[in-house]
Amino acid sequence: MTEEMKSGQEQPVHKRRIHYSGKYPRHFAEKYKELNPEKYQDEIRHVLAKGNTPAGTHIPIMVKEILDILAIKPGERGFDATLGYGGHTLAMLAKLQGKGHLYGGDVDPIESKKTEARIRAKGYGPDIWERRQMNFCEIDKLAEEVGPFDFVLADLGVSSMQIDNPERGFTYKSDGPLDLRLNPQAGISAAERLQQVSLDELIGMLQENADEPYAEEIARQIIRTERHRAIRTTRELYEVIEKALQKVRLQRDEKGRLPERRDLIRRSSARVFQALRIDINHEYEVLYEFMEKLPAALAPGGRAAILTFHSGEDRIVKKAFKTFYKQGIYEDIARDVIRPSREECYENSRAHSTKLRWAVRAK
């Protein structure tokens, strides 16, 4: 018996990491190196060098372009409306040079707490940065509390950490509960939504939220399946989409080429998941509200930059900026959409669909 045992002190229990079969981990929970990037920097760099995003992390998009637009000066007040993994936040904090204040808002209570811990570990205390658990459409309440903002960023994309975690249900690529909520503590899941929706409503959802060309075929198969059994997992929904598209007549693309059926199913699945996510999180309604409130939340001369990832979002942002510009509320707006460079798209495949627009509040 050791001296420690004699003295009655409890010994720390060594917790072994999860073991997996094969040479590489296949499941999210097994990727212990990629889920702890601060500890395994060499492995993370290896994943990034291949143009991939390490599981559980997120690569911020168009950082240089955003910083050029926002033109952040030390002493200013800013709002990162969609905190995510915190990559954009850290870049903006560096520009403040320890002077001023930045608020980070996010509706996701799970990932935003992890991000707060990472930012605090970088040495940024509450004197210069604060996390707020909030939907970004509540920007008016925050501005009323702390004052108008000199710069605002809204990155409307779903973070890679959310997509990679099968427990969140954001992707068909791994099996998990069909959830898709940005805040899993509020609202109903995608599985529950499919039990409520009518055929016509579902067709409209797929068309309006994702421009799905086979909306009717997929919607009919989903409703037909729901009559016999509930679709509860991401894989079950993928199989329903696959069944709906097995016999459809393939449509040629703009260059006259016929797609492979496997690619057709993959693309349609991504669009269906997108349409469902937009619906259950009320993303269009929230974005409309944010765009309406944004001008009043900006200080005179305040700058706003917004990243969108599909045509529906971009149309809302473009229309709002143009409307307020014509009314003289914005003194300048982006005339054309800004896209990521070819090099960035090569290094980060999730940047391909990104569009960036900006506006400057009149003085």
What pLDDT was estimated at residue 54? Answer: 53
> Per-residue pLDDT averaged across 264-269, rounded?
93
Higher-confidence residue of 249 and 227: namely: 227
Q: Give kind and range of the element (H or E) at residue 116.
A: helix 109-121
Q: Is 50 exceeded by the pLDDT of residue 353?
A: yes
- Per-residue DSSP letter, 198: -
> If DSSP codes are grouped into helix, strand and coil, which group holds residue 185?
coil
Judge whether residue 72 has pLDDT over 80: yes
The pair of three-digit structure tokens given for residue 37, joined into one six-digit string? 């990037």
Residue-range domain boundaries for the chain: 63-160+284-361, 183-276
Statement: residue 354 has pLDDT above 80? yes
Q: What is the pLDDT of residues 169-222, one digit of tens each?
A: 888 888 899 999 999 888 999 999 999 999 999 999 999 999 999 999 999 999
Q: Residue 341: left if φ>0, alpha if ψ -120 to 50, beta else—which one?
A: beta
In the chain, the N- to C-terminal Cα span, in Å, equals 77
Sheet with 77-80, strands from edge to edge, namely: 129-133, 101-106, 77-80, 149-155, 298-308, 355-361, 330-333
Rounded Cα distance between 202 and 195, Å, is 11
- Using CA atoms, how far residue 132 sits from 108, 165, 173, 251, 299, in Å, is 10, 23, 31, 46, 20
Arch. (CATH architecture) of 183-276: Orthogonal Bundle (1.10)
What percent of the chain shows pLDDT beyond 90? 64
The residue that leads in pLDDT, 5 or 263, is 263
Q: For residue 40, name the pLDDT band (cuts at 50, 70, 90).
A: low
Average pLDDT over residues 49-53: 53
Find the Cα–Cα–Cα–Cα dihedral 99, 115, 131, 102, rounded to 10°.
20
3 state SS of 298: strand
Could you read off the pLDDT of 311-336 as tens digits, one per residue?
899 999 999 999 999 999 999 999 99
Q: Contact 331/363 with Cβ under 8 angstroms?
A: yes
Among 7-16, 33-42, 166-175, the minimum mean pLDDT is found in 7-16
Chain segment 231-263, per-residue pLDDT in tens? 999 999 999 999 999 888 877 777 788 878 888
Rounded Cα–Cα distance for residues 342 and 146 (Å):
39
Percent of the chain with pLDDT over 70: 84
In the predicted model, what is the mean pLDDT of residues 259-285? 93
164 pLDDT band, cuts 50/70/90, is confident
Confidence check: pLDDT of 33 > 80: no
Q: What pTM did the predictor assign?
A: 0.81
> Looking at domain 63-160+284-361, does it have CATH number 3.40.50.150?
yes
Give kind and range of the element (H or E) at residue 355: strand 355-361
CA atoms within 13 A on the CB side of 31: 18
User: Which pLDDT value is given to residue 250?
Assistant: 78
